[in-house]
Amino acid sequence: MNANPVGDVTIRYADLPSQAPGDPVPVLLLHGFGTNFEMNWSAAGWPRALDTAGRRVIGPDLRGHGGSDKPTDSGLYLPEHFVADVLALLDRLEVERVDVVGYSMGSRIAWELALTAPDRVRRTVLGGFGPANALAGLDTAEPGTGDTPFDHVYRTVVGLPGNDAAALAACVRGQASRPFQEEPRPTGGPMLLVAGARDTVAEGAAGLAERCGGAFVEVPGRDHANAVSSRVFKQAVAEFLEG
């Protein structure tokens, strides 16, 4: 992976040009909490699927994750910091505009990116994401010790190779201090929401899509952990980005 220093952190990222002719808008992939570009996207076959569609892929490891720096100050995990990292990366790569596909926490960042810099986003896909506060009921002092849907997510990812428990806990606290707000909404390009039929973290995704004037696709039989690898998910995104 390459590296992009951004103020207080260095962001590692993949930049995968398509082998197909043409120069369509690149696709920016933003992974979920506790994973990274490789785990969330590459292992699930997304770069290959997007390359087949002739799309360049840009995939950062978000701050606190993967090969990127992992600060332990919760104030460094506010949404605006993630957005600043992404914009600095696009500037470094001289990319004017992207289609952005997020999953879980990456969808929250994709929403903030489309809201903050609508001129940089053509189309937005929010996977594994709904309007409810995913951290509701969580003990942010000791994440993973309770029985909320996010507690289960936290316990699943905290022990994965390369993860730093202190950085992930700081990320949780930073996110919890700035809960998702549906208003104001991005007013730029089209939006698609995708969620597994059994995904409790993304509860209410269909309603959010309707209120945003977007589309919604449900992935049958999948939950928050495995919807991202679904062929249904990939096909829905491919069709949406070609629209």
31 assigned to some structural domain: yes
| Mean per-residue pLDDT, 6-32 | 88
Phi, psi of 93 (to 5 degrees): -85, 0
For the stretch 43-64, pLDDT in tens is 999 999 999 889 999 999 999 9
12 assigned to some structural domain: yes
157 assigned to some structural domain: no
Percentage above 90 pLDDT, the chain:
85
Specify the DSSP element, H or E, that contains 14.
strand 9-16
Residue-level pLDDT at 121 = 97
Domain extent for 74: 2-133+180-242
- pLDDT > 80? residue 7: no
First to last CA, the chain: 31
Residue-level pLDDT at 2 = 82
138 assigned to some structural domain: no
For the stretch 230-239, pLDDT in tens is 999 999 999 9
Question: Do residues 59 and 68 make contact, with C-beta atoms less than 8 angstroms apart?
Answer: no
Specify the DSSP element, H or E, that contains 52.
helix 46-52
Residue-level pLDDT at 37 = 98
156 assigned to some structural domain: no
Question: Do residues 41 and 106 make contact, with C-beta atoms less than 8 angstroms apart?
Answer: no
Is the preceding omega at residue 184 within 30 degrees of 0, hence cis?
yes
- pLDDT > 90? residue 86: yes
Residue-level pLDDT at 131 = 95
For the stretch 166-220, pLDDT in tens is 999 999 999 999 999 999 999 879 999 999 999 999 999 999 999 999 999 999 9
Residue-level pLDDT at 171 = 97
For the stretch 123-171, pLDDT in tens is 999 999 999 998 989 999 999 999 988 898 899 999 899 999 999 999 9
191 assigned to some structural domain: yes
Question: Do residues 2 and 13 make contact, with C-beta atoms less than 8 angstroms apart?
Answer: yes
Rounded Cα distance, 76 and 171, in Å: 8
89 assigned to some structural domain: yes
Residue 209 sits in a domain whose CATH number is 3.40.50.1820
Domains in the chain: how many in total?
A: 1
154 assigned to some structural domain: no
What are 240's two structure tokens? 């949406």
In which band, very low, low, confident or very high, does the pLDDT at 117 lie, cut at 50, 70 and 90? very high
In which band, very low, low, confident or very high, does the pLDDT at 101 lie, cut at 50, 70 and 90? very high
| Mean per-residue pLDDT, 23-35 | 94
For the chain, what is the mean pLDDT? 94
List strands edge to edge, sheet with 98-103: 2-6, 9-16, 57-60, 27-30, 98-103, 121-127, 191-196, 215-219
Rounded Cα distance, 8 and 13, in Å: 16
Residue-level pLDDT at 243 = 72
In degrees, to the nearest 5, what angle opens at C-alpha 186 toward C-alphas 76 and 228? 70
Look at residues 68, 33, 67, 45 and name the one whose alpha carbon lies nearest to residue 156.
Answer: 33
